[in-house]
Amino acid sequence: MAKFEDCLQRLEKIVQELEKGDVPLDQSLTLFEEGMQLSSSCRKELEQAEGKVEILLKKNGKLQAEPFEAQEKTAARK
């Protein structure tokens, strides 16, 4: 599997090619399919990374790690 940055860079090139509008239909479809696969791969990588991110909070004078997502939900409830 390619690195996230490589996938994102390739996806940007695909978008540029498709935006030009001078690509034949069959090639456009191939590029679109590749772009969708790259987009899905990037999204999965971001979701995995999100699960690893933690926030350090000071509670009762001690630092305590909490998942970033849980903190986001707590803030949204306030």
Half-sphere exposure in the Cβ direction for 74 (13 Å, CA): 8
The domain in which residue 39 lies consists of 4-77
Sign of CA dihedral 65, 67, 72, 74: negative
> Is the pLDDT higher at 9 or at 49?
9
Report residue 10 as tokens.
């390739």
> What pLDDT is stored for residue 39 in this prediction?
94
Q: What does the pLDDT look like over 16-72, one tens digit per residue?
A: 999 998 999 999 999 999 999 999 999 998 888 876 766 666 667 776 777 666 545
> What pLDDT is stored for residue 8 in this prediction?
92
Task: Measure CA 35 to chain center.
Answer: 13
User: How far is it, in rounded angstroms, from Cα 51 to Cα 47?
Assistant: 6
> What pLDDT is stored for residue 58 in this prediction?
63
Contact assessment for residue 5 and residue 39, using Cβ atoms and an 8 Å cutoff: no
Residue 1 has pLDDT above 50, yes or no: no
